[in-house]
Chain A
Amino acid sequence: RKEVEQDPGPFNVPEGATVAFNCTYSNSASQSFFWYRQDCRKEPKLLMSVYSSGNEDGRFTAQLNRASQYISLLIRDSKLSDSATYLCVVNRGPLNTGFQKLVFGTGTRLLVSP
Chain B
Amino acid sequence: DAGVTQSPTHLIKTRGQHVTLRCSPISGHKSVSWYQQVLGQGPQFIFQYYEKEERGRGNFPDRFSARQFPNYSSELNVNALLLGDSALYLCASNFRPGSGYTFGSGTRLTVV
Contact = CB atoms under 8 A, between A and B. Distances in A.
Interface of A: 4, 31-32, 34, 41-46, 49, 87, 89, 91, 93-94, 97-107
- A contact face: mostly helix, strand, loop, or mixed: loop
Contacts of A101: 33, 45, 48, 56, 58
Contacts of A43: 90, 103-106
Nearest to A47: B100
Given A49-B99, A104-B42, A106-B41, 5 more contacts: A32-B98, A34-B100, A46-B100, A89-B42, A99-B56
B31 interface: yes
Nearest to B104: A43
Contact of B48 (A34, A87, A99): A99
Interface string B89-104: 0101010011111111
Given A101-B48, A102-B35, A42 B105 contact: yes
A100 B48 contact: yes
B40 interface: yes
B55 interface: yes
A4 B90 CA distance: 19
Given A44-B43, A44-B90, A87-B42, A102 B31 contact: no
A99 B56 CA distance: 6
A42 B105 CA distance: 6
A45 B103 contact: yes
Nearest to A97: B55
B43 A98 contact: no
